[in-house]
């Protein structure tokens, strides 16, 4: 007898302002908590924005207001975990709105799954990503599985950041993977609370610039497999109906 897997509905939103995507996330988050919708994945790019997670230090935004205006970036406080990071064009952002309770996953295991999605996605583009002990996210270069000395940055270059929020057993927010991101935007912050952190992208590592929507499609499929979900691609109208 064939057992039907629970559904993961996925939508590509294209480029969207951060506050618009956050409002959509919050709406879907409440609907998922009440059981009105299945697990849902939003994939998109953002207009340039620096987001401050719950552990952020305001001084870690180094740019003055005039500089922020000149580069067309805003600063937004949000309720995800982690510290300050950058989102912008050329970066894949994934917001899985997932019932961890139904999936029987703890928050730490869930974040490890998100990291593995990135690592497996990078492999499709001949980039070798890995974890760093004691740090959340995915790195390129350095020594896989290494643990940095206290007070020092990990060796290598960070290519993906993670930050989630869990309430009533449901997760929101997610991950950001640099595909062809303009990495100079990271010069204006202390990324993830690590001064002089080296950051990279698929393009910086390979010289090739895959489309963000194509990377999103690969990552969505990998996430569905890891969560043991049946991926169903929907449009934005389906989410707001």
- The catalytic site residues sit at 192
The DSSP symbol for 79 reads S
Alpha helix segments (H runs only) across the chain:
18-33, 65-71, 100-103, 107-123, 202-206, 212-227, 236-240
Q: Which phi and psi (to 5°) does residue 14 adopt?
A: 70, -145
CA distance between the termini of the chain: 34
Dist. CA 100–CA 161, nearest whole Å = 20
CB-based contacts of 114: which residues, under 8 Å, 6+ apart?
A: 94, 96, 162, 164, 174, 175, 223
Instruction: Report the DSSP pairing between strands 74-77 and 49-52.
Output: parallel
Strand order in the sheet with 84-87: 74-77, 49-52, 84-87
Taking 3-state DSSP, the helix, strand and coil percentages for the chain, each rounded to the nearest 5, stand at 35, 30, 35
Dist. CA 114–CA 106, nearest whole Å = 13
């Amino acid at each position: 007898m064939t057992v039907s897997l629970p559904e993961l509905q996925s939508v590509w939103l294209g480029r969207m302002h951060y506050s618009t995507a956050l409002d959509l996330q919050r709406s879907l988050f409440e609907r998922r908590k009440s059981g009105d919708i299945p697990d849902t994945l939003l994939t998109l790019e953002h207009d340039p924005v620096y987001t401050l997670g719950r552990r952020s230090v305001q001084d870690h935004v180094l740019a003055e207001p005039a500089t922020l205006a000149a580069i067309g970036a805003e600063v937004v406080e949000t309720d995800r975990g982690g510290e300050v990071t950058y989102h912008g064009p050329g970066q894949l952002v994934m917001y899985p709105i997932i019932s961890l309770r139904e999936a029987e996953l703890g928050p730490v295991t869930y974040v490890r799954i998100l990291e593995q999605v990135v690592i497996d996605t990078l492999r499709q583009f001949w980039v070798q990503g890995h974890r760093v002990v004691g740090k959340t996210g995915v790195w390129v270069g350095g020594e896989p599985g290494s643990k940095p000395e206290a007070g020092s940055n990990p060796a290598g270059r960070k290519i993906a950041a993670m930050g989630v929020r869990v309430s009533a057993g449901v997760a929101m927010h997610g991950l950001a993977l640099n595909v062809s991101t303009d990495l100079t935007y990271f010069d204006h912050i202390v990324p993830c609370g690590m001064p002089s952190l080296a950051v990279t992208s698929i393009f910086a590592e390979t010289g090739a610039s895959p489309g963000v929507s194509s990377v999103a499609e690969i990552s969505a499929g990998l996430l569905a497999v890891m969560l043991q979900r049946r991926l169903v691609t929907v449009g934005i109208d389906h989410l707001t109906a």
